[in-house]
């Protein structure tokens, strides 16, 4: 199986989490926005319409959404299920609700990246040699505009949606009075714990991020305001996130 993913992106993190939880074998292929489009279209046969990462491909079968990948991985996996019986609707609901956190923080992170020459230079694909990075950073700016267009937001207006992000985080906080959202570890915790990476990146030992990118993305005011959620996220990663061997 081929797994196209963006290592630092919440949607990719949550799908990969389930594949790795079940120790499912796959070939990881890093997806670079804009640049990897042709490769993913070719591999998946999705010639038209929007393509996104993560996408899992097994022969002619394609799972083009993190939730579908998670369901499939959980169905074929042999470790403890992350979709306990009777909780699928609640999990689906958390998937939708935490999508809002990810979507809103994507706006902020796109704007923050555009304002940081160092983060732009570091965002270029690994094959770009170090001395060429700073001069070529405008290519990364084009990539940021591409993301904003594709996901229909105006990066210049991102800050105005931060109260919406605070409300979504507060809703999560109000429902998190114990260790797990649904009483035991499930995909609901996976999607929630994966949600903060675009304003409070998780420790490098779990998901590596270059320093200039990490610095630009780290939003201290939100981290302080929602320190309880971040602590919870860190404990969930510590207990349940297994880096693929
Ligand atoms: N509904 C999708 C959303 C995935 C998504 O938004 N992926 C973004 C992450 S930033 C992506 O692929 N961005 C790069 C691109 O669109 O080229 C899922 O849950 O898998």
Provide the pLDDT for residue 245. 56
Distance CA(122)–CA(120), nearest Å, equals 5
C-beta 52 within 6 A of ligand 1: yes
Going by pLDDT thresholds of 50, 70 and 90, the confidence category of residue 126 is confident
C-beta 6 within 6 A of ligand 1: yes
Percent of the chain with pLDDT over 70: 99
Q: Residue 178: which residues within 8 A CB-CB, separation 6 or more?
A: none
Q: What is the pLDDT of residues 48-74, one digit of tens each?
A: 999 999 999 999 999 999 999 999 999
CB 161: neighbour CB atoms within 10 A?
16
Q: Find the mean pLDDT for residues 33-43.
A: 95
Provide the whole-model pTM.
0.97
CATH among 3.40.30.10, 3.30.70.260, 2.102.10.10, 3.40.50.2300 for 2-76 = 3.40.30.10
- Taking the centre of ligand 1 as the mean of its atom positions, its distance from the CA of residue 12, in whole angstroms, is 8
Give the number of the atom of ligand 1 that is nearest the alpha carbon of residue 14. Answer: 19
Task: Kindly report each contact of residues 165-168 with a partner whose C-beta sits within 8 Å and lies 24 or more positions away, as own/partner.
Answer: 165/101, 165/104, 165/105, 165/108, 165/222, 166/222, 166/225, 168/97, 168/98, 168/100, 168/101, 168/104
Cβ atoms of 60 and 72 closer than 8 Å: no
Give the number of the atom of ligand 1 that is nearest the alpha carbon of residue 37. Answer: 17
Provide the pLDDT for residue 178. 87
Looking at the predicted structure, is the pLDDT value of residue 180 above 90? yes
The pick from 52, 64, 125 for probing ligand 1's pocket by mutation, whose C-beta has the most ligand atoms within 8 angstroms, reads 52
Distance CA(118)–CA(140), nearest Å, equals 11
Give the number of the atom of ligand 1 that is nearest the alpha carbon of residue 51. Answer: 16
Residue 69: exposed, middle, or buried by beta-carbon count in 10 A (0-12, 13-18, 19+)?
buried
C-beta 55 within 6 A of ligand 1: no
Task: Kindly report each contact of residues 200-209 with a partner whose C-beta sits within 8 Å and lies 24 or more positions away, as own/partner.
Answer: 200/226, 200/230, 200/233, 201/8, 202/233, 202/234, 202/237, 203/234, 203/237, 206/237, 206/241, 206/243, 207/7, 207/8, 207/13, 208/7, 209/8
C-beta 53 within 6 A of ligand 1: yes
Q: Is 183 left (phi over 0), alpha (psi -120 to 50) or beta?
A: left
C-beta 36 within 6 A of ligand 1: no
Looking at the predicted structure, is the pLDDT value of residue 243 above 80? no
Q: What is the pLDDT of residues 184-230, one digit of tens each?
A: 999 999 999 999 999 999 999 999 999 999 999 999 999 999 999 99
């Amino acid at each position: 199986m081929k797994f196209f993913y963006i290592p630092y992106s919440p949607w990719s993190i949550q799908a990969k989490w389930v594949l790795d939880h079940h120790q499912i074998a796959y070939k990881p292929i890093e997806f670079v926005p804009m640049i990897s489009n042709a490769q993913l279209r070719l591999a998946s046969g999705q010639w038209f319409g929007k393509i996104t990462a993560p996408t899992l491909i097994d022969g002619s079968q394609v799972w083009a959404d993190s939730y579908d990948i998670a369901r499939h991985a959980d169905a074929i996996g042999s470790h403890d299920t992350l979709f306990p019986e009777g909780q699928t609707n609640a999990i689906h609901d958390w998937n939708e609700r935490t999508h809002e956190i990810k979507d809103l923080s994507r706006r902020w992170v796109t704007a923050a990246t555009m304002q940081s020459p160092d983060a732009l230079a570091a965002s270029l694909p690994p094959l770009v040699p170090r001395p060429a990075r700073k001069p070529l950073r405008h290519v990364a700016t084009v990539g940021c505009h591409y993301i904003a267009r594709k996901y229909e937001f105006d990066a210049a207006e991102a800050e105005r949606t931060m109260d919406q992000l605070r409300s979504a985080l507060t809703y999560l906080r109000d429902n998190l009075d114990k260790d797990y959202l649904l009483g035991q570890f499930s995909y609901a915790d996976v999607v929630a714990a994966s949600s903060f990476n675009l304003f409070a990146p998780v420790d490098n030992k779990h998901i590596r991020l270059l320093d200039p990118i990490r610095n630009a993305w780290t939003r201290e005011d939100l981290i302080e305001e929602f320190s309880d959620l971040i602590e919870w996220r860190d404990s969930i990663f510590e207990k349940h996130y297994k880096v693929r061997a």
